[in-house]
Amino acid sequence: MTAESRAGRDGTPRPNSVAAALMRGYVVASAGARGRILGTDGNYTGKAPSVIVDLKSAIAYLKANDTLMAGRADRIIANGTSAGGAMSLLLGASGNSMDYHAELQKTGAIMTADDSVFAVSAYAPITNLENADMAYEWQFNGIFDYQKMSVGMLDYNVKRERIKASLRTSKKFGQMN
């Protein structure tokens, strides 16, 4: 196992933080959480505080099952970047907070286990959402062309396709010229 993943855009290997942590003896758990997902009724299922509640539930689960797994659940470090960094900060600041008690009960979380973390490692956490739209407008003003990667499966093979697009002619936004 190496601590490098696929090559970056310039062809040089990029570090794989999960592999690097495992090579140094850390146990890595990546919990799923509800996000911006539409339910069958057309409503978002992942609106606040569901993301933080799901992560707190996962921490409580790990702590309740500490003796059944490798590592020490009393040494959980929440790690994240951008929105994940914000979630890591919230986990660190709200350990065992009664503010989430009712929501945790609704989801069936293990209520006898503690949901606090040992430490937080947050990179570029986005926490000032009131000004985020204005910041994006300022930073990307006049930039209409973009690229995205479409990833799909074809005969059990991953297919990646780079798609170039422009907001100038986007049907969603109408003609912007």
Q: Does 14 score more than 70 pLDDT?
A: yes
Can you give the pLDDT at residue 176? Answer: 47
Residue the block writes with tokens 């942590």: 21
Residue 15: cis peptide before it, omega within 30 degrees of 0: no
- What mean pLDDT do residues 82-105 have? 96
CA–CA distance, 123 with 79 (Å, rounded to integer): 8
* Residue environment code for 109-140, b if the CB has 16+ CB neighbours within 10 A, otherwise e: bbeebebbbeebebeebeeeeeeeeeeeeeee
pLDDT bucket at 54, cuts 50 / 70 / 90: very high
What one-character DSSP code corresponds to residue 38?
B
Taking the CB of residue 141, how many other CB atoms lie within 10 A of it? Answer: 7
Task: Give the pLDDT confidence of 106-158 residue by residue, as tens digits.
Answer: 999 999 999 999 999 999 999 988 888 788 788 878 888 888 888 887 777 88
> What is the rounded distance in angstroms from the CA atom of residue 131 to the CA atom of residue 53?
25
